[in-house]
Amino acid sequence: MRKYFGTDGIRGEVGEHPITPDFVLRLGWAAGKVLGKEGGTVLIGKDTRISGYMFESALEAGLSAAGVDIRLLGPMPTPAIAYLTRTMRANAGIVISASHNPFQDNGIKFFSAEGLKLPDEVELAIEAELDKPMGPIDSQRLGKVKRIVDAEGRYIEFCKSTIPVGMQFHGLKVALDCANGATYRVSPNVFRELGATVETLGVDPDGLNINEQCGSTHPAALIETVKSSGADIGIALDGDGDRVILVDANGEVVDGDEILFIIAKAQQERMNGEFSGGVVGTVMSNLGLEHAFKSEGIPFRRAAVGDRYVIEMMQQEGWFLGGESSGHIICRDRISTGDGTVSALQVVAAMVESGKSLAELKSGMKKYPQTMINVRTSKSIDISASVEISSAVAEAEQGLQERGRVLLRASGTEPVIRVMVEGENGAEVKQVAESLAKVVENSIA
């Protein structure tokens, strides 16, 4: 059992253990012992939340004490750090971010030399080092620090390379919401350099406004901008840039399931109706996505929620496309982890190639009505061990029969129980979800 690592690194409220400067100092030292080895190099990047300065310094000190050299990237998207870790031949990459959470939270996540999330055994090895007494190595062998000044340019060029050579976006108007987060400088430049007219939102971070009523979790402002400006597409990234939600010209949200369908369908058409491999979704993926892929003859499998599990199944199957309805899309033939900017580029490229609007591209998938309610909890609860919850779920499934499905799960990144119901009848789905959420609330009170 892991003491500190969750499904996406170590995350929590700033000032509450383990998201404290002293713990992060020790974490840097422990990670340096396991990942860096003496004389190795580790990259550090961060999003725009104010606590990033504090934790960057703490990690820097801990890694240096372990004899590891540090390369500072500054505010950069999470996928950029994964990419640069691999291309700069670093031993590991560290991201200081709490993704789509508010500024009061922060977290530390790691990438291996290959730009992948760490396997369980490596996380356990880091936790084992955390239990040991900390002490710096001899002074002459302490790690040194340098800042990488061209990190943004390297990542921008990489992003542009993920669409067909020579393709340009001239004539397209893009509304781009960067969530006042890590993409606020790089992503607008990517689309501008490809020829698009870009109207930006969420590009004025102050350390406190990351994800605040903006970005992929709050698309209302983007929807309004798309409709008022006549944009062809709206793109909403989250605070660390690994998720994306789109908005079509009619102001309709296009979620991760629909983005997966659009990218897969475009790949299939490029290959004259053939599709190489299949697509991995999650247990939260809409039934409509599964049915759409079935009608197109594209294999589809569901993984547990969490990009690490999606990527694991993609690797097992030898497939190159997968993702989550939240907008965490992995184009593994282009980058090793979820990348909101790269995923959005694939969709815009499909629009350019086909001459179709975003609304037309998504029309091949019919979504089932889905309601998800987050029930906040202050304590850990085993949902499967609750007789009341299990009975309520069984009753709901019996009522829905083949018309829908029910899923309850604890979030891996927030203190909430997610209650999800989907089916053919939207009113019925909403009623069942609200009823189940009430049962869960009463059970954890």
Mean model confidence pLDDT for the chain: 95
Q: Which of 51, 64, 97, 99 is catalytic?
A: 99
User: What are the Cα distances from residue 423, in Å, to 291, 399, 400, 403?
Assistant: 13, 11, 8, 5
pLDDT in the model for residue 26: 98
- The CATH fold assigned to 370-444 is TATA-Binding Protein (3.30.310)
Answer yes or no: same fold for 10-149 and 155-362: yes
What's the one-letter identity of residue 54? M
- The 10s digit of each residue's pLDDT in 91-127 is 999 999 999 999 999 999 999 999 999 999 999 999 9
- The 10s digit of each residue's pLDDT in 321-359 is 999 999 999 999 999 999 999 999 999 999 999 999 999
Sheet containing strand 92-96, edge to edge, reads 10-13, 105-112, 92-96, 41-46, 69-75, 145-147
pLDDT in the model for residue 224: 98
Is there a contact between 34 and 3 (Cβ–Cβ < 8 Å)?
Answer: no
- The 10s digit of each residue's pLDDT in 183-231 is 999 999 999 999 999 999 999 999 999 999 999 999 999 999 999 999 9
DSSP code per residue over 375-396? EE-SS---GGG-HHHHHHHHHH
Short-list 436, 352, 348, 335, CA closest to 395: 436
Q: Which CATH number is 10-149's, of 3.40.50.300, 3.40.50.970, 3.40.640.10, 3.40.120.10? A: 3.40.120.10
- The 10s digit of each residue's pLDDT in 67-98 is 999 999 999 999 999 999 999 999 999 999 99
99 has catalytic annotation: yes
Short-list 21, 27, 28, CA closest to 52: 21
Short-list 92, 77, 95, 117, CA closest to 33: 92
What is the pTM assigned to this prediction? 0.91
**Superfamily name with CATH number, domain 155-362:** Alpha-D-Glucose-1,6-Bisphosphate, subunit A, domain 3 (3.40.120.10)
User: What are the Cα distances from residue 375, in Å, to 101, 190, 284, 351, 441?
Assistant: 16, 38, 16, 38, 7
- The 10s digit of each residue's pLDDT in 271-300 is 999 999 999 999 989 989 998 999 999 999
> Rounded to whole angstroms, how far apart are CA atoms 339 and 327?
9
- The 10s digit of each residue's pLDDT in 219-276 is 999 999 999 999 999 999 999 999 999 999 999 999 999 999 999 999 999 999 999 9
Q: How far from the centroid of its chain's Cα atoms is residue 46's Cα?
A: 14
**If pLDDT is split at 50, 70 and 90, which confidence band does 38 have?**
low
What's the one-letter identity of residue 143? G
pLDDT in the model for residue 129: 96
Q: Where are the domains of the chain?
A: 10-149, 155-362, 370-444
